[in-house]
A and B are shown apart, each in its own frame.
Chain A
Amino acid sequence: MTPPEINSPGYEIPAEIRNQVNITTLDRVYNWSRKNSLWPMMFGLACCAIEMICTAASRYDFSRFGMEVMRPSPRQADVMIVSGTVTKKMVPQIVRLYNQMPEPKYVIAMGACASGGGPFKEGYNVVSGIDKFIPVDVYIPGCPPTPQALLNGLITLQKKVETESIKSARWYGRRPIQPIPIPVLGPDLMDPRKYGEIRELARQKAEAEAQAAAEAAAPAGEPEAG
């Protein structure tokens, strides 16, 4: 067996050991093994999850690409397929699950909702895309994306994995990777990274309201002022 993608040309391998020995780079063999065993997390949010199950089922069968093991626990998963509408009530849990996944980890935003809010974007409980909180590697358009589209997305992710290098991978970096702060449910969804801006916004709103109230009161108080 000599998968073309790991066999590095340029070295002459004697014919008698050609089937047992390959010469390759560490990066390539590392990526090759990783990309063919991407385990998605078993995690469905909405309608798109049904198409994700279809992709796992017999007709489309993504185990052909080394993904048959779906794990409900984030600790054993490599890919988070965000398959559906991300609501404000759910997003703290999604971020927590993401933080619990061990590196290297990837995120696929499946469908219009996960990519940017989708048909329900204007809803008061809907987050306009999961990338507002966690980094996304592959976006798959569609509502829902067909299983073929999901497969295409997963293959795209495999291609991305191929381009990585141990040297520059963030999970081998010297500094620990900081978890993403978990959003808080207040009077509306609050991202801890934006507390300052939220406070400023609320202050401006209060000022505007006070001013409007003053303006409304003024003409009644001093009818001859103008």
Chain B
Amino acid sequence: MTEQTQTTYTPDLAARFPEWVTPDSRPGFSGYLVQREHLLDFCKTLRDDLGYDLLSSVTGVDYLPEGKLEVVYHALQTVGGPMLVFKVQVPRDEAVVPSVVSIWPGAEFQEREAWDLLGIRFEGHPDLRRILMWEGFEGHPLRKDWKEPYFEEEVKPYKSRWPDGQVERIEDRMPLQDNVQYPAGFDPESWTPDGDESLYRGLRKLLEDSGSELKTDRLIVNLGPQHPSTHGVFRMVAVLDGETIVDLKPVMGYLHRNHEKIGERCSWLQNMPFTDRLDYISSMSNNFGYALAVEKLMGITPPERAEYIRVIMAELTRIISHLISIGFLLNDLGAFFTPVLYAFEERELILDIFEAVSGSRMMCNYFRFGGVARDFPEGTLEKLRELIYERLPRKIDELDRYLTRNEIVQTRCEGVGVITAEQAISLSTTGPILRASGVPYDIRRADPYSIYDRFEFDVAVRYHGDVYDRYLLRLDEIRQSIRILKQALKDIPEGPVISGKPQWQVRVPAGESYGRVEGPKGELGFYVVSNGKANPWRYHVRAPSFINLTALAPMARGGKIADVVVILGSIDIVLGEVDR
């Protein structure tokens, strides 16, 4: 497999389409710059002739000094191989780019995000509304000249934080003692809040014709943001015909914590603990992705022992995440909380190990550029061995025995929330969703990172694309993770755990980099741009559960309202990552 990957054919696109693209020749950058007028033709060729069937990531970068906004696309072939990156540059004051939703429907949410945060208008987008902030919010916050109310300095560490050795709260310096700012001359009383009008306007069209012989009315129903089924603060607006879902729109942003804006103010290392809080169930694998992205730029690799530790941590995280996902799926099916207790029991044992190695149960902040923060304390390996060889396999079998052949689980899950392989690819889903639809795409095999090419494991794949297969696939993956862990525990060498000496301020050469890992939820990617300074110029997270949500509406349409809860559970979202 490895050899195959290395020989994947990447054509020289600049030679092939000289009038459409030019190579991106900025130092440290790669890929192609595409003419805006030819973007759609280029994308169509990529998809249809060159096999780049999955558009993984779309984002923007604000190059303020050059007066340009850049849209960055990452596309991949689901047969494996490295990513293809291409960009479109537009002037800042006339930021309009053709939308690629017609070619890759999976770009829908990401283009909306780029519109919301960077003010890049995508022409031809079917539903270009703000996605993370609310309609009516003033400005596009990720533009470099947009300042948040609590703005102190461009980059951290802020000098203003400790004036004369005294701590000062920023609220005390603000006019309203609060994190708000208003346009000049604004009058709050004359303001009419949007109240999601633009969202409902799109849905109301569907209300008009129910088309059924019975004179039934269609209804718009809101689930969330406070709803026990949404796993956090997520909202769905469904148009119902009786109990059947006609259409459904996810609404998010209720946990939008401005990860990227903060990330661009923080120094490189300061971002590490923030990545923990993305998908807060799998902090270790978030650390992994970010470390890879920055290490690629810095051109360093961690020592052997650190590589093994990283893999061990990432696989343990996968086990935790899948266990929780299975537990909560049952919760969504109505088996209230008891299955979750089984999942949490095992999770606690793994958390003990995390706490021992990193000092924290959830927010591990354990990876460093070029290694990990510290070595295993004494006794950790023994504990791990007991867990991996004895306890976990037994517990997974137990879970399997309890649930898999359970009649209720089967009837509620089989054939529910189906998406086909083609749909899964075109909607840019990754991870368990994609693999449960019959596409064996796993970055650990398709584009191996770290030392995954050394381990023997199977890429779990299932073929029906329904909730039941997603559940089974997660069980399969836990078993494969245990397999990897056994090999890693056998082979882990002695030695240092970080290359060079640990630094709090690293030097990162100018350039761009995209680091991606196969996280428990799918492809977790970090796109970072450095200009050689102490802080990233751009820091973007390609969040798998955010993009996987594009598949929610196609899965739910035509189904029953009660099943939406289960479908959402099977997508397995974590709001910290969806909203960032």
Residue B525 CB within 8 A of the other chain: no
In the complex, which residues of chain B have a beta carbon less than 8 angstroms from the beta carbon of A44? 232-233
Known interface pairs A53-B340, A57-B340. Does A198 touch B184 (Cβ–Cβ under 8 Å)? no
Residue B404 CB within 8 A of the other chain: no
Residue B171 CB within 8 A of the other chain: yes
In the complex, which residues of chain B have a beta carbon less than 8 angstroms from the beta carbon of A51? 361-362
What string of 1s and 0s marks CB contacts (under 8 Å) between A125-143 and chain B?
Answer: 1111000100000000001
| Residue pair B191, A205 in contact (C-beta under 8 Å) | no
The smallest C-beta distance from A50 to any residue of chain B, in angstroms, reads 6
Residue B519 CB within 8 A of the other chain: no
In the complex, which residues of chain A have a beta carbon less than 8 angstroms from the beta carbon of B183? 187, 202, 205
Known interface pairs A51-B362, A123-B262, A188-B149. Does A205 touch B182 (Cβ–Cβ under 8 Å)? yes
Residue B345 CB within 8 A of the other chain: yes
In the complex, which residues of chain A have a beta carbon less than 8 angstroms from the beta carbon of B232? 44-46, 49
| Residue pair A50, B362 in contact (C-beta under 8 Å) | yes
Roughly how many angstroms separate A202 CA and B188 CA in the complex, as a whole number?
9
The 8 Å CB contact of A188, one of B137, B280, B341, is B137
Roughly how many angstroms separate A198 CA and B259 CA in the complex, as a whole number?
27
- On chain B, which size bracket covers the interface? 35 or more
Residue A194 CB within 8 A of the other chain: yes
Known interface pairs A144-B363, A202-B187. Does A119 touch B258 (Cβ–Cβ under 8 Å)? no
The smallest C-beta distance from B53 to any residue of chain A, in angstroms, reads 35
Residue B179 CB within 8 A of the other chain: yes
Roughly how many angstroms separate A188 CA and B193 CA in the complex, as a whole number?
11
Known interface pairs A187-B183, A202-B184. Does A121 touch B150 (Cβ–Cβ under 8 Å)? yes
In the complex, which residues of chain B have a beta carbon less than 8 angstroms from the beta carbon of A16? none
Residue A199 CB within 8 A of the other chain: yes
Measured CB to CB, the nearest residue on chain B to A90 is: B254
Roughly how many angstroms separate A149 CA and B326 CA in the complex, as a whole number?
27
Roughly how many angstroms separate A148 CA and B502 CA in the complex, as a whole number?
32
Roughly how many angstroms separate A126 CA and B372 CA in the complex, as a whole number?
31
In the complex, which residues of chain B have a beta carbon less than 8 angstroms from the beta carbon of A54? 344, 348
The smallest C-beta distance from A121 to any residue of chain B, in angstroms, reads 7
Binds A, one of B223-231, B287-295, B470-478: B223-231
Roughly how many angstroms separate A54 CA and B351 CA in the complex, as a whole number?
11
| Residue pair A185, B193 in contact (C-beta under 8 Å) | yes
Known: A84-B255, A122-B148, A124-B148. 15 other contacts (CB 8 A): A47-B363, A58-B341, A72-B227, A119-B274, A121-B179, A127-B179, A144-B362, A144-B363, A185-B137, A187-B137, A187-B186, A194-B176, A195-B188, A199-B187, A202-B184
Q: A residues within 8 Å of B by Cβ?
A: 42-47, 49-51, 53-54, 56-59, 72, 84-85, 87, 89-90, 93, 97, 117, 119-128, 132, 143-144, 146, 184-191, 194-195, 197-199, 201-203, 205-206, 208-209
- 20 A-B pairs with CB atoms under 8 Å apart are A45-B233, A46-B277, A84-B255, A87-B257, A89-B133, A119-B273, A122-B152, A122-B265, A124-B150, A125-B253, A125-B256, A128-B171, A132-B178, A143-B363, A186-B136, A187-B183, A189-B180, A191-B178, A198-B180, A199-B187
Ranked 5 nearest A-B pairs via Cβ:
A123-B258, A187-B138, A47-B280, A206-B184, A206-B185
